[in-house]
Amino acid sequence: MDTCLGLSVVVPVLNEIASLDELIRRSLRACKDTGRSHELILVDDGSTDGSSEKILAAAEAHRGGVVGVILNRNYGQHAAVMAGFDVSRGRLVVTLDADLQNPPEEIPRLVAKMDAGFDVVGTVRVPRRDTLFRRLASRTVNAAARRSTGVDMHDYGCMLRGYSRAVVDAMLRCRERSTFIPVLANTFAKRTTEIEVRHNNRPGGDSKYSLWRLVNLQFDLLTSMTTAPLRFLSAIGVCLSGAGLALGFLLMGLRLLHGPEWAVQGVFTLFAALFFFVGAQFVAMGLMGEYIGRIYEDVRARPRYFVERIVGLEPGLRESSDLQGCT
């Protein structure tokens, strides 16, 4: 991108007509408060309630300030945010939900933290206004994400977050289809921090996540973090085979002690053999899983590393590194 701005705010929108006007007004004001050049990118994720028309009208009314990206159908929140990243030109990028559960007025605080040199600024919702089920689910997910990324964040679910240009560019270069942006960002972040933000009840409309979509999202999150479940197969196999072998030896010993009648004419021995072979099958599946895991890593084509700066390179030998972007 040629022109660069200070700040991009990316908002995915799915049937949020009730809050769009207020969202645009409050977000633009918050951006202005940061005192830097900015753009508000509204990504319509296949709305059917007229949100897209409203976004187009807003882009017309605030030329240069509001950018509308209309997807042709619903692709999911994280895909929509990625589409927004793709057109964003800010040196800092903030994501925000369209439902106003997180107030846009927090944007200047996020920006201030980013200015302090953090690559990713996460947020913790206090008090959290969601059902007990949602809270429990996200607690488990957060713990898993903390373990897998090695970054100690407490609220991966909250999408009001700030990212540096470098991290956004790194995410854009990942080719996987199922993404969970806060986790993906942390795999490329060096300095991260968290701030507390307010969380309100949804002022209008309903949550776009049914139970089924939530389950789907958790699987996206799991597979985006780790291929460890594939390895579980081998672990189960080794345990089963081990149990089969142990049972076999035990039976052999007991049979010698108590005679052939005791072992129900070999039925127990059959069990031991069965355990052993079922276990061996699991081990084989686990081995295949290891290959599938590696294929998966490769097709995701995530950048292996990201160069922050190269110094001492003769001028003219290489013009620029990918990461320079807007700096």
Contact 171, 188 (CB under 8 A): yes
Task: Determine if 77 is a binding residue for Mg ion (CB under 5 A).
Answer: no
To the nearest 10 degrees (0 to 180), the angle between helices 77-87 and 181-188 is 50
Q: How many residues bind ligand UDP (CB under 6 A)?
A: 16
User: Judged by CB under 6 A, does residue 106 bind ligand UDP?
Assistant: no
| 324 to 3, 44, 68, 91, 237: CA distances (angstroms) | 13, 29, 26, 11, 49
Number of amino acids touching Mg ion (CB under 5 A): 3
- Residue 110's nearest CA partner among 156, 158, 180, 160 is 160
Tokens representing residue 102 in the block: 């997180």
Q: Contacting ligand UDP (CB under 6 A), which of 45, 119, 169, 220? A: 45
- Planar angle of CA 203, 206, 209, nearest 5 degrees: 130
Q: Any contact of residue 155 with ligand UDP (CB under 6 A)?
A: no
**Shortest distance, position 12 Cβ to ligand UDP, whole Å:** 3
| Interatomic CA distance for residues 196 and 210, integer angstroms | 27
CA–CA separation, 91 and 81 (whole Å): 16
Could you tell which of Mg ion, ligand UDP, none binds residue 76, using a CB distance below 5 to 8 A set by kind? Answer: ligand UDP
The nearer residue to ligand UDP, 130 or 176, going by C-beta atoms, is 130
The stretch among 144-152, 205-213, 254-262, 291-299 that binds ligand UDP (CB under 6 A) is 205-213
Nearest Cα neighbor of 187 from 163, 172, 167 is 167
- The binder of 169, among Mg ion, ligand UDP, none, by C-beta within 5 to 8 A per type, is none
- With CB under 5 to 8 Å by kind, the binding choice for 209 among Mg ion, ligand UDP, none is ligand UDP
Residues within window 92-131 making contact with Mg ion, judged by CB under 5 A = 97, 99, 101
Q: Pick the piece of the chain touching ligand UDP (CB under 6 A) from 70-78, 104-112, 174-182, 280-288.
A: 70-78
Which positions lie near ligand UDP, rule CB under 6 A?
12-14, 16, 45, 74, 76-77, 80, 97-99, 101, 207-209
